[in-house]
Structure 1
Amino acid sequence: MFSVPRLLPVSGQHGFTLVELLVVMAIAALMMTAVPSLFSASFPGLEMKSAARQTAAILRLARESAIRQGAETELLVDLDAHRLDLRGYRSLKLPKRLTVQLDAASREMLDDQRGVIRFFPDGSSTGGRILLANGDHGFQIGVIWLTGRIDLATWEGP
């Protein structure tokens, strides 16, 4: 008769303890919360580009809403709060590290920190431009008053 060899040694540790697994899971959880913020801080251009695209998207949504509902739609731009508000839909919070500027018709400025870009049922608008910048470069999102078209372009400062 032959004997079956043992595959595992009799003495010594096999595997991990529960405490070791919990420590590894805690470290992984910390890394998952810390790494995204470090990543966005390392690539401010990506954050700015994303904010510019989201700004253009909310402007397009405002225009489409005015056309679809057959009523004026206003997008409130709050420079102090770094926020764009489209009533009845959503708000867009812009990163605090970006400089936000609004060029709009004087009658559309509520005060020196808040203004409105208004869209009409025929697709036209009051026009305007939102600038998102980080230093001497950024993105400008323009709204053509006659057609309501939204243009996204890079911007280089003076």
Structure 2
Amino acid sequence: MDFQNKKKLKNSAGQNGFTLLELIVVMVIMSIVMAVLMPRLSEQLMGNSLRSAVSELGTIAASARFRAADTGKQHVVVIDTESSELKLFSGDKSKILSMTLLPPKVTVKDMELLGKSVSGHEMHIIFYPQGTATPARMRLVSEKRESMNLVVAGADGGVYVR
């Protein structure tokens, strides 16, 4: 059997491609699966943005703690609830060392500094060269009303999620 005969047998043996009906059935099945999975996926993404915000805030606070110990100068983390900004300043607040934004659907609530409620939209947490910090507490809340508490311990300057 030569090459030409093999080619003719292959094309005559079956169809090439899919029919329109088969494509429509696959699209309907995919639509049903997506309709079932989207609410669950949306909830997971909400939870991820809250965890991301806590992680970002913890990272900036840890950076401030380490920089203060390294340079021998205090560093300040400023949390602005109005603009959703997290800023890390050098001790004299003349230079912004780092700045980031909280995820859009996460807000900071119930801010406490030295055990007292913070009035206004800014909280300043100071990290000292000895490894200590101004004790602070805040609650991060997602659009779905899920929340996580973040605590900065004064004695060791550690940042803890509760």
TM-score range, shorter chain: 0.5 to 0.7
Q: What SS does structure 1 have at the residue aligned with 2:83?
A: coil
State the TM-score, normalizing by the size of structure 1: 0.66
Distance 1:113 1:106 in 2: 17
The alpha carbon displacement at 1:96 in A equals: 2.6
* Conservation of the 8 A alpha-carbon contact between 2:152 and 2:160: yes
Give the secondary-structure state (helix, strand or coil) at the position aligned to 1:116. Answer: strand
The alignment partner of 1:89 has SS state of: strand
TM-score, length-scaled by structure 2: 0.64
Greater Rg by CA: 2
Residues 40 and 84 (structure 1 numbering): CA distance in 2 closer, same or farther, change over 3 Å? farther
Q: How many residues align?
A: 125
Q: Deviations over 1:84-128 (max 9, x none)?
A: 101343212112322212222499x6x611120000000111111
CA distance in 2, matches of 1:124, 1:86: 16
8 Å contact from structure 1 (residues 67, 121) kept in 2: yes
Equivalent residue, structure 1, for 2:28: none
For 1:77-156, what aligned pairs fall within 5 Å after superposition? 77-87=79-89, 88-101=96-109, 102-105=111-114, 112-134=120-142, 136-153=145-162
Match of 2:60 among 58, 61, 73: 58
Which ranges in structure 2 are unaligned for 5 or more consecutive residues?
Answer: 17-38, 90-95
% identical aligned pairs: 20
Give, as a single letter, the amino acid of the residue that structure 2 aligns with 1:116.
H
RMSD over aligned Cα, in angstroms? 2.9
Q: What amino acid is the match of 1:104? A: L
Counterpart CA distance in 1 for 2:88 and 2:40 is 29
Which ranges in structure 1 are unaligned for 5 or more consecutive residues? 15-37, 154-158
Contact 2:53 2:106 in 1 (8 A): no
